[in-house]
């Protein structure tokens, strides 16, 4: 659960000569985005239906990482999230090493859901498992299946959530033979309601605290997998610390809910929170308001991310705009709470840094040490 | 949303000579079940974690269709459910007819989640969409994507749930090219808590009210698809009413939450409820207690199910033990509430029948008109 120290000396082999962008890795947002917009509009139109039950949505949660409903004594938050293609790395590494990495990707899957749910101030309570295999025979590898169960359980324990149940369909013809589509749904409560962190309290002078990632987490894997084609030793390419590229990619995503729960226990309510997943550091622009975010300290970059940046010939703008580069989660807190936030995170085993602050100004992210700037149009989620 | 009348005269072609069982259709439960058992045990062990939040699970919901947590003023229920292979039928029918059936299978997907969630007495409040495509290009078929959005929205409207959001990953390498893995998560509240229907009130003399299905719903599709290989005209085989086999298979699953909400409004709290999905009528044995369930009236069988039974050469035991055969949902209510339950369901547009009653006796399901009996070991879900 701790961030790797940066590897400033690149591991072998030397970087190839042509850069690799995220679009080249196969995900074409132009095709997906029209559907997303249509779905978001249709979804938003259903909100008034809650009125018949005496409840109402918290409209500000539309476009945020979890959906929030006001049910009276507290807010109800829910989400479903997908692991993505990290399972393919686990499969290939099992083929190469004989070891199962499914305990780790179980944690990744839960992290995808839990780390999004907590951004609204919710305590995650129940996780449901969605494990859709490409056929009944997927479950015949008992050691792999047990690793998945064990890792899932352990991640629930770390987050203090009950594993409610789930669905384990065999979907031959939809999921590819030998593969599994892993997802998790998570339900939680914002309780007391004052813990809601949809951003209305964000203000000039607030501190930006970054929490360490453990590596690539579960975003950017399409790029990371594409890169393997350029590496003569593929996933077994050694990194500077002796681990292989494949092992380093499979470091499980940090679960951040112990940190947000520790803050709540200590009376700290963040003014906003952002899970740094797809779009990398551009997620720091997620808050709907107009602020300038100035980052003055940049956390150490996990070795595997520096390796990807070098091998893909990405400049810092491309790398930080795509990958987490060492910061997996951002907490925007009162300046006076900043150091205590860092301490509480570290007490949970998660390195953290007061990395910057919120300023009055145009919507903009400035990463001073890297001389990078992104404007409002760098992140279009709504 | 209404059940088809039975087609006692078989549609062409004549039934083939060899029977087709469910196991032959490719789903091998022996491979999946050990994982399921391990997962259920691990999941159950996480329940005490809720104590740290001041909450606790409702233990009787383990093994039921939705997971229930006592959060004080009400119970919280949650679930994730998969459509299964019905999308493959929609894909093939689109190829054959040029029409998109994705509005219908959107409803099916939501029905899988909502119809399970309501068995515990919960009002469904929020649905999340999980649409995992085999690549970005799936979303390039704008008409199909729009049908999915429209059908999803409409099903939410029928159920009075808010569509909270969801996940639309492009999972090339995990989901097959050109395919989509559809699932839904649903969160709801049992409110007031007296609406909880986990079965502790089930008693001798209670009536069993069956609610009509619209056809195969979303269980048994592997069998139905396998059968196509035996039909010279495949999915375009005409049934007696002029519809094709493919169209009939794609009749959307009935959404039963309007019925359970109407009952609640009218002051009727069922003593138990069972969603009749996989394992067909054996699901009537789902209650954990020891009772004999005597069915004295059998609802009309939708034409498409009778066709499947005939073509697959299934006897009634196999057919009713696998498919819903016209009964998509069962409500166990006080005898005095039985007729009113039927009326309320019909007012919602769902045909319903007082089909039988609960008796003291060994755990057993007796379907008198068909001379069928299943004992306790016919359904092993816990």
Q: Is B290 exposed, middle or buried (0-12, 13-18, 19+ CB in 10 A)?
A: exposed
Of the candidates A62, A142, A181, which has its C-beta nearest B171's C-beta? A181
Q: What's the CA gap between A122 and B355, in Å, rounded?
A: 45
A87, B265, B293, B368 from B208: Cα distances, Å:
45, 20, 8, 14
B162–A87 CB contact, under 8 Å = no
3-state SS track over B5-46: CCCCCCCCCCCCCCCCCCHHHCCCHHHHHHHHHHHHHHHHHC
The beta-carbon neighbor of A128 closest among B78, B139, B167 is: B78
pLDDT recorded at residue A2: 33
Which H or E element spans position A91?
A: helix A86-97
Q: How far is CA A97 from CA A85, A94, A247, in A?
A: 19, 5, 10
At B4, is the pLDDT very low, low, confident or very high (cuts 50, 70, 90)? very low
Comma-separated ranges of CATH 3.90.650.10 domains in chain B: 23-27+198-378
Q: B67 touching A, CB under 8 A?
A: yes
pLDDT bin (cut points 50, 70, 90) of residue A289 is very high
Rg (CA), chain A: 20
| pLDDT value at residue A153 | 98
Closest-CA residue to A352 (of A297, A305, A287) = A297
Residues 6 or more apart whose Cβ sits within 8 Å of residue A54: A72
Alpha-carbon distance of A38 to A50, in angstroms, equals 21
CB B224 within 8 Å of CB B308: yes
Distances (CA, A) of B373 to A381, B281, B366: 56, 11, 5
**pLDDT of amino acid B342:** 98
Is the CB of residue B119 less than 8 Å from the CB of residue B156? no
Specify the pLDDT at position A341. Answer: 98
Q: Between the CA of residue A367 and those of A308, A373, B171, what are the distances in Å?
A: 20, 6, 32
- What is the CB neighbour count within 10 angstroms for residue B231? 16
Query: Looking at this predicted complex, what is its ipTM?
Result: 0.92
Q: Does B162 touch chain A (CB under 8 A)?
A: yes
Write the CATH number of the domain with boundaries B23-27+198-378. Answer: 3.90.650.10
B278-291 pLDDT per residue, tens: 999 999 999 999 99
Q: Is the pLDDT of residue A8 over 70?
A: no
CATH superfamily for domain B48-195: PurM-like, N-terminal domain (3.30.1330.10)
To test the contact with chain A by mutation, choose from B38, B152, B187 the residue with the greatest count of A C-beta atoms within 10 A, namely: B187
* Contact state of B153 with A28 under an 8 Å Cβ cutoff: no
- Per-residue pLDDT tens digits for A133-183: 999 899 889 999 999 999 999 999 999 999 999 999 999 999 999 999 999
Q: Nearest to residue B149, comparing CAs of B161, B166, B125?
A: B166
CB contacts under 8 A, A 261-320 vs B, are none
CB contact under 8 A, A35 and B153: no
Q: Test A34 with B175 for CB contact under 8 angstroms.
A: no
**Could you tell me which chain B residue has the CA closest to the CA of A123?**
B53
* Residue A326 near residue A3, CB atoms below 8 Å: yes
For residue A89, the surrounding DSSP H or E stretch is helix A86-97
Mutate to test the interface with A, among B82, B140, B277 (most CBs of A within 10 A): B82
**Per-residue model confidence as pLDDT tens digits over B9-52:** 333 444 455 676 655 656 666 777 788 889 999 999 999 999 99
Q: Which residue has the higher pLDDT, B139 or A178?
A: A178
The backbone torsions φ and ψ at residue A295, rounded to the nearest 5 degrees and listed phi first, read -100, 125
Look at residue A10 in the predicted model and tell me its pLDDT.
Answer: 34
Q: Residue A151's closest chain B neighbor by CA?
A: B42
**CA dist., res. A144 & res. A160, Å (int):** 24
Q: Kindly report the backbone phi and psi dihedral angles of residue A54, in degrees, each rounded to the nearest multiple of 5, phi listed first.
A: 85, 10
pLDDT at A266 over 70: yes
Please give the span between the terminal C-alpha atoms of chain A, in angstroms, as a whole number.
Answer: 32
| Distance set, CA B221 to CA A205, B52, B339 (Å) | 59, 43, 33
Q: Are A271 and A343 in contact (CB under 8 A)?
A: no
Nearest-angstrom CA–CA distance, A304 and A312 = 12
If one counts every other C-beta atom within 10 angstroms of the C-beta of residue B368, the result is: 13
Residue B158: its H or E element = helix B142-159
User: Six-digit token pair at B174?
Assistant: 């995990």
Looking at every residue in chain A, the average pLDDT score rounds to: 92
* Chain B residues touching A45 at Cβ < 8 A: 153
Tell whether A60 is within 8 A of chain B (Cβ): no
Q: With contact defined as beta carbons under 8 Å apart, do A5 and A306 qualify?
A: no
Report CB contact under 8 Å: B43, A163.
yes
What does the CA dihedral A232, A328, B55, B265 come to, rounded to 10 degrees? -90
Q: In chain A, list all ranges with CATH 3.30.1330.10.
A: 48-195
pLDDT over 50 at B3, yes or no: no
Residue A19: is its pLDDT beyond 90?
A: no
Band (pLDDT 50/70/90 cuts) for residue A12 is: very low
State the pLDDT confidence band at A114, using cuts at 50, 70 and 90: very high
B125/chain A closest Cα distance in angstroms? 7
Place of tokens 């549609």: B11
By the 8 A CB rule, do B79 and A128 touch? yes
The answer to whether residues A284 and A369 touch, using CB atoms and an 8 Å cutoff, is no
CB A83, CB A112: distance < 8 Å? yes
């Amino acid at each position: 659960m701790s961030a790797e120290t940066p590897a400033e000396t690149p591991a072998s082999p030397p970087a190839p000569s042509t850069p690799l962008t995220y679009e080249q890795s196969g995900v074409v947002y132009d095709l997906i985005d029209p559907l997303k917009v249509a779905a978001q509009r249709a979804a938003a139109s259903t909100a008034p239906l809650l009125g018949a039950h005496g409840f109402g949505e918290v409209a500000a949660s539309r476009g945020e990482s979890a959906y929030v409903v006001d049910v009276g004594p507290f807010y109800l938050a829910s989400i479903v999230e997908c692991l993505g293609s990290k399972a393919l790395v686990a499969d290939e590494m099992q083929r190469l090493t004989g070891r199962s990495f499914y305990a780790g990707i179980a944690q990744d899957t839960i992290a995808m859901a839990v780390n999004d749910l907590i951004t609204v101030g919710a305590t995650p309570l129940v996780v449901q498992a969605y494990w859709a295999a490409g056929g009944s025979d997927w479950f015949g590898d008992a050691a792999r299946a047990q690793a998945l169960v064990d890792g899932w359980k352990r991640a629930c324990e770390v987050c203090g959530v009950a594993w409610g149940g789930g669905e384990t369909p065999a979907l031959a013809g939809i999921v590819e033979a030998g593969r599994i589509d892993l997802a998790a749904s998570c339900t939680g409560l914002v309780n007391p309601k004052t813990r809601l962190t949809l951003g209305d309290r964000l203000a000039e002078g607030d501190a930006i605290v970054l929490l360490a990632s453990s590596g690539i987490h579960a975003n950017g894997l399409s790029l990371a997998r594409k890169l393997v084609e350029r590496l003569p030793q593929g996933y077994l390419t050694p990194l500077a610390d002796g681990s292989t590229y494949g092992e380093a990619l499979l470091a499980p995503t940090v679960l951040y809910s112990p940190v947000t729960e520790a803050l709540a226990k200590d009376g700290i309510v963040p003014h906003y929170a952002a899970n740094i997943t797809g779009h990398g550091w551009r997620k720091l622009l997620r808050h709907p308001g107009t602020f300038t975010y100035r980052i003055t300290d940049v956390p150490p970059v996990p070795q595997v991310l520096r390796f990807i940046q070098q091998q893909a010939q990405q400049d810092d703008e491309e790398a930080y705009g795509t990958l987490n580069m060492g910061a997996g989660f951002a907490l925007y807190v009162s300046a006076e709470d900043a150091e205590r936030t860092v301490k509480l995170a570290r007490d949970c085993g998660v390195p953290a840094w007061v990395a910057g602050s919120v300023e009055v100004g145009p919507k903009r992210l400035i990463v001073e040490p890297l001389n990078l700037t992104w404007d409002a149009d760098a992140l279009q989620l709504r």
